[in-house]
């Protein structure tokens, strides 16, 4: 069962919220978050703009292809990405990635993961996406503050490690199932980063596979985020928290969703946090860990 947490309780009853959150991230690593801090109107505008993007002619989307840049920003056509690295299948979804936004003259341009976003010619698209990026990042850091409490760390422990983040805003479009053998919307995978915030249009398809169970449908609750722990935070917590495999089945109707992957700053050192026991992994820069995962995801299938 996927637990449902109410973000308002992080303020009204932080001890109880922390206890429920701690259990959720240890058991399945997935939960639903009601009443998030991201405004409902902004969430609706973001989904609407995502739909407009995917409805553009393919030639316009190809002009802002994710393959145009080494910084993983832009549109991905079906087949550009395969999340299940062990499977020959390719994902049927379309994607659009937006990263930490930099000005054209920012001196960090050209550094690892530091590039310019690619934007479609759609009124209001850029402003909406950047507003959503900032709001979702703030929600993610808020959750990290509660996770710090759960690990007996100062609530602001993570804040300075996530203020110039590698976080990615990803728009997703899954076409209706065609009935072809071996078809998959998004192959089985775990997420790479710290925390993922997902909102959907309500069309079913997302499933999780708990470590001791079978594939289970993730329910839809209007206005709630689906939240899960990523591999980087699992490593950071010395495997106290659980990053759980999930997938998206080909939907009966088109399915659109918006994922926000909360990632640390590039130079943040991912190493076992205090009080988590003997380290199971060597320290690694957040950017280097992310690079290793993306290289496998975008490698051509043999």
The pLDDT of residue 84 is: 54
User: CA-to-CA distance for 4 and 2, rounded, in angstroms?
Assistant: 7
Q: What is the pLDDT of residues 172-219, one digit of tens each?
A: 999 998 877 778 888 899 999 999 999 999 999 999 998 888 999 999
Q: What is the pLDDT of residues 5-37, one digit of tens each?
A: 999 999 999 999 999 999 999 999 999 999 999
The pLDDT of residue 300 is: 58
pLDDT (mean) for 124-152: 98
The pLDDT of residue 184 is: 83
Question: Which domains does the chain possess?
Answer: 4-297 (2.60.120.330)
Q: What is the pLDDT of residues 225-273, one digit of tens each?
A: 999 999 999 999 999 999 999 999 988 899 999 999 999 999 999 999 9
Nearest to 261 by CA among 190, 205, 204, 203: 190
The pLDDT of residue 179 is: 78
DSSP-assigned states of every residue in 18-57: HHHHHHHHHHTSEEEEES-SS-HHHHHHHHHHHHHHHTS-
pLDDT (mean) for 101-121: 94
For 85, the 3-state DSSP assignment is coil
Where residue 86 falls among pLDDT bands split at 50, 70, 90?
low
User: CA-to-CA distance for 80 and 100, rounded, in angstroms?
Assistant: 22
Q: Which single residue is written with the structure tokens 């943040």?
A: 268
- pTM of this prediction? 0.94
The pLDDT of residue 144 is: 98
pLDDT (mean) for 51-57: 97
User: CA-to-CA distance for 299 and 302, rounded, in angstroms?
Assistant: 9
**Residue bearing the bigger pLDDT, 293 or 57:** 57
**Could you report how far apart the first and last alpha carbons of the chain are, in Å?**
37
User: CA-to-CA distance for 131 and 74, rounded, in angstroms?
Assistant: 17
Does residue 89 surpass a pLDDT of 70? no
Q: Which residues face 207 on adjacent strands?
A: 217, 247
Does residue 83 surpass a pLDDT of 60? no
């Amino acid at each position: 069962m996927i637990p449902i947490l109410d973000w308002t309780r992080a303020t009204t009853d932080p001890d109880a919220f922390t206890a429920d959150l701690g259990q959720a991230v240890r058991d399945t690593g997935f939960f639903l978050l009601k009443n998030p801090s991201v405004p409902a109107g902004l969430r609706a505008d973001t989904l609407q703009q995502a739909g407009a993007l995917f409805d553009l002619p393919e030639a316009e989307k190809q002009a802002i292809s994710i393959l145009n840049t080494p910084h993983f920003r832009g549109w991905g056509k079906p087949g550009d990405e395969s999340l299940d690295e062990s499977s020959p299948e390719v994902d049927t979804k379309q994607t659009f990635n937006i990263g930490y936004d930099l000005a054209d003259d920012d001196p960090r341009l050209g550094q690892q993961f530091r590039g310019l976003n690619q934007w479609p010619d759609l009124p209001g698209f850029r402003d909406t996406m950047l507003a959503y990026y900032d709001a979702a990042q703030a929600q993610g850091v808020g959750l990290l503050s509660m996770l710090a409490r759960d690990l007996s760390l100062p609530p602001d422990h993570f804040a300075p490690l996530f203020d110039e983040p590698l976080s990615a805003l990803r728009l997703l479009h899954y076409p209706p199932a065609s009935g072809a053998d071996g078809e998959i919307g998004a192959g089985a995978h775990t997420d790479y980063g710290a925390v993922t915030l997902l909102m959907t249009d309500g069309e079913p398809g997302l499933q999780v596979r708990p470590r001791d169970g079978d594939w289970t449908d993730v329910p839809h609750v209007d206005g709630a985020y689906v939240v899960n722990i990523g591999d980087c935070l699992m490593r950071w917590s010395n495997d106290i928290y659980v990053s759980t495999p999930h997938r998206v089945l080909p939907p009966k109707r088109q399915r659109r969703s918006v994922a926000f992957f909360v990632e640390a700053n590039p130079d943040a050192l991912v190493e076992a946090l205090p009080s988590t026991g003997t380290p199971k992994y060597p320290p690694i820069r957040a950017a280097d860990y992310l690079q290793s995962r993306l290289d496998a995801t975008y490698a051509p299938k043999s």
